[in-house]
């Protein structure tokens, strides 16, 4: 563990580029807190699905999210995601939630609620790594270091397949289509679309092993602190 880092690191990028895996490891190496904001939008989606409201009814969607108690931890070594006291760590990664999460997260009132929670969760921390889609652009615009993580669509689909143990080419093609669909939705929404912050460092992990990606981000973070650079 390195204790030299203090500040905020944001990690944004399209689906399946390795944000969660990389952000968690970077946080562990730097002794920092870690916040997975995608898990918060997924937990909000659980609340919406359980309330049984139509995904295109923005008022009802926002009401369902606001009525739920969503708890997400910031310990990089222990994942905590609860909705109304129930552990939903597994459920939020399932197909039902993954299909519904982009429409839910495009609702401005939902974003207002969760962005406020995200800032509350990280603003007291000495060192924190936060990953998502709009962290560098909206949630923490004054972060110490902003990373925008990319990888080719083919590599991302292969990695997701590896994560899920999928080998059937048709199923891999379906995973690729799902990544594309989510990226399109997240990039085209009016409120806080997925895009790199102007001052983000773009890291393309297509040809990097995960440990190399982590090492690159850690080096950039230590460099940002040494040079006193506020991005």
Among 18, 32, 176, 194, binds ligand ATP (CB under 6 A): 18
Residue 37 binds which entry of ligand ATP, ligand L45E5XJ5, none, with Cβ cut-offs from 5 to 8 Å by kind? ligand L45E5XJ5
Q: How far apart are CA 58 and CA 154, in angstroms?
A: 34
Residue 167's Cβ-count burial label (10 Å; 0-12, 13-18, 19+) is: exposed
Helix/strand/coil for 146: strand
When asked if residue 14 is in the footprint of ligand L45E5XJ5 (CB under 6 A), the reply is no
When asked if residue 123 is in the footprint of ligand ATP (CB under 6 A), the reply is no
Binding to ligand L45E5XJ5, residues 81-120 (CB under 6 A): 101-102, 105
Residue of 13, 27, 106 lying closest to 61 (CA atoms): 106
Establish whether 171 is an annotated binding residue.
no
Binding to ligand ATP, residues 60-119 (CB under 6 A): none
- Tell me the sheet residues that pair with 7: 127
Residue 8 phi/psi, 5° resolution? -120, 130
Residue 18 binds which entry of ligand ATP, ligand L45E5XJ5, none, with Cβ cut-offs from 5 to 8 Å by kind? ligand ATP
Establish whether 17 is an annotated binding residue.
yes
When asked if residue 34 is in the footprint of ligand L45E5XJ5 (CB under 6 A), the reply is no
Among 10, 27, 38, 224, binds ligand ATP (CB under 6 A): 38
Minimum CB distance to ligand L45E5XJ5, residue 56 (Å): 15
For 7: left if phi > 0, alpha if psi spans -120 to 50, otherwise beta; the answer is: left
Q: How far apart are CA 109 and CA 125, in angstroms?
A: 26
Other Cβ atoms less than 10 A from the Cβ of 120: the count is 9
In Å, how far from its chain's centre is CA 229? 24
Q: What is the DSSP letter of 91?
A: G
x-marked contacts with ligand L45E5XJ5 along 165-204 as a string, rule CB under 6 A? -----------------x---x------------------
Minimum CB distance to ligand L45E5XJ5, residue 139 (Å): 7
Residue of 59, 60, 38 lying closest to 50 (CA atoms): 60
Among 163, 171, 173, 223, binds ligand ATP (CB under 6 A): 163
Provide the binding-site residues for ligand L45E5XJ5, judged by CB under 6 A: 15, 37-38, 41-42, 101-102, 105, 132-135, 182, 186
Known binding-site residues for ATP equal: 13-21
């Amino acid at each position: 563990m390195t204790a030299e880092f203090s500040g905020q690191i944001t990690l944004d990028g399209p689906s399946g580029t390795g944000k969660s895996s990389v952000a968690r490891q970077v946080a562990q190496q730097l002794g920092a807190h870690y916040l997975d904001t995608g898990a918060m939008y997924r937990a909000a989606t659980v609340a919406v699905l359980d309330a049984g409201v139509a995904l295109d009814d923005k008022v009802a969607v926002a009401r369902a999210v606001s009525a739920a108690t969503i708890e997400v931890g910031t310990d990089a070594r222990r994942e905590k995601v609860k909705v109304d006291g129930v552990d939903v760590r597994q459920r939020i990664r399932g197909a039902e939630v993954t299909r519904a999460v982009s429409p839910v997260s495009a609702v401005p009132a939902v974003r207002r609620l969760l962005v406020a929670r995200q800032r509350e969760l990280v603003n007291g921390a000495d060192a924190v790594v936060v990953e998502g889609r709009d962290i560098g652009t909206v949630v923490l615009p004054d972060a110490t270091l902003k990373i925008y993580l990319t990888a080719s669509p083919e590599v991302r689909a292969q990695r997701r397949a590896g994560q899920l143990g999928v080998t059937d080419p048709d199923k891999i093609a379906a995973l690729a289509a799902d990544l594309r669909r989510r990226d399109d939705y997240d990039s085209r929404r009016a409120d806080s679309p997925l895009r790199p912050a102007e001052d983000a460092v773009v890291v393309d992990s297509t040809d990097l092993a995960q440990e190399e990606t982590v090492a690159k981000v850690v080096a950039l973070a230590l460099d940002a602190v040494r040079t006193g650079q506020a991005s």
